[in-house]
Structure 1
Amino acid sequence: MEEEAAAAAVPPIIDLGDFPNQLDGLRRACEDWGCFRVVNHGIPEELTSDMKRVVRSLFDLPRDVKERNRDIIAGSGYMAPSEKNPLYEALGLYDMGSSDSIHTFCSQLDANPDQRDTIVRYAKAIHDLVMEIAARTAECVGLRGDLFKEWPCQFRINKYCFTPQSVGSLGVQLHTDSGFLTILQEDENVGGLEVMDKTGSFVAIDPQPGTFLVNLGDMAAIWSNGKWCNVRHRVQCNSSAIRVSIATFLLGPKAEPLEAPSVFIDSESSKIYNPVEYEEYRKLRLSTKLQAGEALAFVQCQK
């Protein structure tokens, strides 16, 4: 019985090579967990390994070079260790679906031809995967079409410098992602990611090489009229080691407010959230310092 309980505490696995058979399982994963693993995603292990190698080399760059990686929106560029997150460092770009943005990112960091080639190939593969997974989440509630085609995909590479003194502390505070969904390539050797389940308990997410972890964020909660879980998560320092991860965030529509489609609204489920633009909501989270989904209360419909 204990083994069965432990197995039930693992986020679901979605086989991207087995649709439409996976649609019901995907819908339940969105509702019950707000996160799931994807397998049979079609991205070669060689490419993910090459990208991880490039990521480590980029973090080894001098501080003044990394600081050229400027923000387009807050948090999209270089993030140095801070008082709040002293163990954390990040680099990124605002929209990995844009070839110009990728070129700028590579140029800012003086990427050599090999690094640039790997980044370009990885960005294309991951962007395609983001769009496929987003389309599948819509399909699981009966919606089809290029609903997310123009949405920006923010790219962020993360480094956690865990030390013996930091073991037992947090690498990153409890939060939800502000966007629609996140695809994470985890560190294959160093864990520490924890998600909160519906009971409020934390579940450790152990790395599983060859898979990607998908988290749903606040935009998914708004889009689903509150039916999907915007999963709360954090990074715990469990060992003295360098931890590196690669995240891609499907944010929200650029030029129009996001609101729940009619499939989520009926006589028993009235509209919960007002239409809101992603950038407006992101700024609301920053100004209120409410980073774990609490800012959704500010865009709720008045009863």
Structure 2
Amino acid sequence: MGVNAEIEFPVIEFRSSDLQRGTDGWHHLCKRVREACETFGCFEVVYENISPKVREETFGLMKELVEVPVERKQKNASPMPYHGWVGPCDQVSLLYEGFGLGDASNYDSVKSFAQLMWPDGHPRFCNTIHTMATQIEELNKLI
């Protein structure tokens, strides 16, 4: 007998008007973030400067990245633990896979990573991931 329960994580919209420290919007946003973390341990961020198109394309590209052959993924190595490719394994999880892409807001870093994964360097991956990372970095500076 199985349970088909879906958990919906909170979606929190980050608007520029709410990112001014000390304002009512800021305090309300902080409260929602705290409650989401206490209740669920996570939440989905919606930031007005990241278009739905860029978000959708990013998630689509993640699917392509996971489908890259293991031999190529293994080239994403690092002497620092968990800063390179981490494949499904008993130590972490058979369902987990992680990649190390340092400084994704630097186009050359993204390009170097893409050239490890795809023979053609996957220009669409580079452009989209760089755009997303730059916008996330912008949000990070505001928070």
Q: TM-score, normalised by structure 2?
A: 0.69
Match of 2:130 in 1: 120
Over 3 Å counting, the alpha-carbon distance change for 1:99 and 1:12 in structure 2 is closer
Greater helix content: 2
**Aligned pair partner of 2:82 in 69, 75, 81:** 75
Give the direction of change, closer, same or farther, for the CA distance of 1:119–1:42 in structure 2 (3 Å limit): same
Greater radius of gyration (CA): 1
- Is 1:101 the counterpart of 2:109? The answer is yes
RMSD: 2.7
Task: Evaluate the alpha carbon distance shift between residue 73 and residue 95 of structure 1 in structure 2; reply closer, same or farther with a 3 A threshold.
Answer: farther
The answer (yes or no) to whether the contact 1:16–1:38 under 8 Å persists in 2 is: no
Matches within 5 A, 1:37-56: 37-56=44-63
State the alpha-carbon separation in 2 of the partners of residues 79 and 128 from structure 1. Answer: 27
Q: Deviations over 1:112-161 (max 9, x none)?
A: 222222222222222222222x2xxxxxxxxxxxxxxxxxxxxxxxxxxx
Structure 2: give runs of 5+ residues left out of the alignment: 1-8
Q: Percent identity?
A: 23
What is the DSSP-based 3-state SS (H/G/I as helix, E as strand, rest coil) of the residue aligned with 1:18? Answer: helix
In 1, the alpha carbon distance for the partners of 2:135 and 2:96 equals 26
The code of the aligned residue for 1:128 comes to E
Paired residues of 1:15 and 1:22 also in contact (CA < 8 A):
no
Matched, 1:60 2:60: no
Once the two structures are superposed, the pairs formed by residues 146-185 of structure 1 within 5 Å of their partners are: none
Which amino acid in 1 is paired with 2:25?
Q
Contact persistence 1:72–1:94 (CA under 8 A): no
- Cα distance 1:127–1:75, how it changes in 2: closer, same or farther (>3 A)? same
Contact between 2:106 and 2:130, CA under 8 Å: does it hold in 1? no
Distance verdict in 2 for CA 1:54–1:14, change over 3 Å: closer
SS class of match (2:63): helix
Q: In 2, are the aligned partners of 1:77 and 1:92 still within 8 Å (CA)?
A: yes
For the residue of structure 2 that corresponds to 1:13, the secondary structure is strand
SS at the partner of 2:84? coil
Q: For structure 1, which segment, 83-92 or 24-33, has the greater mean C-alpha deviation from structure 2 after superposition?
A: 24-33
Give the Cα separation in 1 of the matches to 2:57 and 2:11: 27
Structure with bigger strand share is 1
Alignment match of 2:24 (pick from 8, 21, 26) = 21
Q: 1:118 to 1:32 in 2, by over 3 A?
A: closer
TM-score by length of 1: 0.36
Q: Do 2:36 and 2:43's aligned partners in 1 also have CA atoms closer than 8 Å?
A: yes
Contiguous gaps of at least 5 residues in structure 1: 1-9, 135-303
| Distance in 2 of aligned mates of 1:38 and 1:96 | 18
Q: Out of 123-132 and 47-56, give the one that drifted further.
A: 123-132
2:14 and 2:129 map into 1 onto residues whose CA distance is 26
How many residue pairs align between the two structures? 125
